[in-house]
Each structure stands twice: as structure tokens, then as C-alpha cells.
């Protein structure tokens, strides 16, 4: 079986510091894997290695069975990415931003289809034609989700996507993630939000100083138990 995401002994060192130490992990289609850990634990480094933004010191990363190489030109077509803060072009409106990124990814959608993606991401209709410079963080985050939806990627990597979102926006975001997972997409999410991780994730990993210390299924743990485990671990 081909894993959606796979890391084998994946290591990243910066001079003497080890940001990620021999990570071995696989994530299946339809799975939502939430990676927890303190700042500097290696969550973003893991995502950057899967995206090909940085080169591994040793070990290998795979997306749908294809090795991620520097630049990752072959594996990028399978991946969508939602950063912690979605920054887009302020002088373009929501539809234009979505159209631009979709075209870069090789998709040419009609306005109706673009609006459909924005609606699905939860962005209110009246905001579609407004310039991004007038958007709140949550609204920009929704355009980022729409970009990921429009790319129709099998793997979605998210770096603290709910950071700074209000509870309603977080709930909407959680619903979208579950919907995507139900469609067979694999989601890998780095987050600090323990309660949301339990709520949205199918599996959870806890990292400490570059090491994946625990992996567990969310069905086997409550939010409070996870919190205790997390605090013990870090």
C-alpha cells in the first residue's frame, strides 16, 4: 500500500543542533494527523522537509510513494499547504487570489467554480470581490483553504492553521478538514491546539526536541488525558 506521507529516519541538523531526529512515520489517505509540540520541537521543520523547502541531512521523505527531492518539483503536484498566517496579494480580491494560485498549480476555473471553492471554505459571498487588504486573518485563512481545495491535492500540510482564529472560524475549519478527510485526503497538521487536535484528528503525535515521542489514536484518548500526557512529555 502506498502511504500518503511517509518519513524514514528523516533527520535535519543545523550545524550542531538537531531540529529533527530520525523521524519515522507514515500517514494514510483519509487520515488527519495532528502533530503537537512546543515551539522549536521540530513540527515546522517536518512540514518543510515534506514540502521540499529544506534539504534533509539524512533519511528520506515520501509523498504518495515518491521521494521528496530538493525543490520537490515532482511531489508538489500532490500537496497543498496552508501556512500559519496566509498572506496573499492585498491588492487582489479573494477570487483573483484564488484564480492566480490555481492557475500556477495548473487549474483554470470559471468564476462560478472559484466562488464555489470560497463558499466551501466558508468565506462569505460579499467578501469575494473585496481586496485582500480588507480581510481579517480568519478570512485570509479561508482563502488559503480555498486554494488548497482548488488544487484538489491528495495531501494537505498545515502549519498551525487555527492559530489566531476565533472559535466559530476554528469550528468551521475543523468541519472542512473532516470533510476533506472523508474524501480521502491525508491531512498533516502541526498545531498547539490540543483540544482541536482531539476533535479533528484521527491520530496525534507529540514531539520533543526533534523526536516523535508519542503517537496515539484520538479515539483512544480524551482531551484532558491528552493534555496531561502532553504536559508530562514536554
Buried/exposed 14-30: b ≥16 CB within 10 Å, e otherwise? eeeebbbbebebbbbbe
Please report how close the Cβ of residue 105 comes to other proteins at its closest, in angstroms.
4
- The yes or no reply on residue 14 touching other proteins (CB under 8 A) is no
Give CA angle at 173 (129, 127), nearest 5°: 10
Q: 61 and 7 in contact (C-beta within 8 Å)?
A: yes
Stretch of 15-23, 66-74, 195-203, 206-214 lying at the interface with other proteins (CB under 8 A)? 66-74
- The yes or no reply on residue 63 touching other proteins (CB under 8 A) is no
d(CA 188, CA 29): 11
Please report how close the Cβ of residue 17 comes to other proteins at its closest, in angstroms.
18
Stretch of 12-20, 68-76, 118-126, 207-215 lying at the interface with other proteins (CB under 8 A)? 68-76
Nearer to other proteins, 56 or 206 (CB): 56
- The yes or no reply on residue 53 touching other proteins (CB under 8 A) is yes
Q: β-pairing, 32-37 with 203-208?
A: parallel
Buried/exposed 42-53: b ≥16 CB within 10 Å, e otherwise? bbbbbbbbbbbe
Nearer to other proteins, 97 or 170 (CB): 97
Nearer to other proteins, 16 or 87 (CB): 87
Buried/exposed 94-117: b ≥16 CB within 10 Å, e otherwise? bbbbbbebbeebeeebeeeebbeb
Nearer to other proteins, 111 or 220 (CB): 111
Stretch of 15-23, 96-104, 177-185, 214-222 lying at the interface with other proteins (CB under 8 A)? 96-104
Strands ordered across the beta sheet of 58-63 = 17-27, 5-14, 58-63, 66-67
- The yes or no reply on residue 59 touching other proteins (CB under 8 A) is no
- The yes or no reply on residue 30 touching other proteins (CB under 8 A) is no
For other proteins, the binding residues (CB under 8 A) are 51, 53-55, 70-71, 73, 76-77, 79-81, 83, 85-89, 91-92, 96, 100-101, 103-106, 131, 144, 147, 151
Amino acid at each position: 500500500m502506498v502511504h500518503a506521507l511517509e518519513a524514514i529516519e528523516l533527520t535535519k541538523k543545523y550545524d550542531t543542533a538537531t531540529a529533527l531526529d530520525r523521524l519515522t512515520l507514515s500517514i494514510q489517505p483519509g487520515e488527519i494527523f495532528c502533530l503537537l509540540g512546543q515551539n522549536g520541537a521540530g513540527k515546522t521543520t517536518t512540514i518543510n522537509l515534506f514540502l521540499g523547502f529544506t534539504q534533509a541531512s539524512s533519511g528520506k521523505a515520501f509523498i504518495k510513494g515518491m521521494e521528496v527531492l530538493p525543490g520537490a518539483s515532482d511531489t508538489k503536484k500532490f500537496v497543498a499547504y496552508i501556512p500559519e498566517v496566509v498572506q496573499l496579494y492585498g491588492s487582489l480580491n479573494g477570487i483573483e487570489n484564488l484564480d492566480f494560485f490555481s492557475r500556477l498549480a495548473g487549474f483554470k476555473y470559471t468564476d462560478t467554480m472559484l466562488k464555489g471553492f470560497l463558499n466551501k471554505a466558508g468565506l462569505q459571498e460579499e467578501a469575494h470581490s473585496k481586496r485582500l487588504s480588507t480581510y481579517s486573518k480568519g478570512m485570509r485563512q479561508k482563502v488559503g483553504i480555498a486554494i488548497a481545495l482548488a488544487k484538489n491535492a491528495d495531501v494537505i500540510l498545515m502549519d498551525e492553521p487555527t492559530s489566531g482564529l476565533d472559535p466559530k472560524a476554528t469550528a468551521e475549519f475543523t468541519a472542512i478538514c473532516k470533510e476533506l478527510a472523508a474524501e480521502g485526503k491525508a491531512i498533516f497538521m502541526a498545531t498547539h491546539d490540543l483540544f482541536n487536535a482531539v476533535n479533528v484528528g484521527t491520530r496525534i503525535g507529540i514531539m520533543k526536541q526533534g523526536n516523535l515521542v508519542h503517537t496515539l489514536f484520538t479515539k483512544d484518548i480524551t482531551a484532558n488525558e491528552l493534555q496531561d500526557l502532553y504536559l508530562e512529555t514536554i
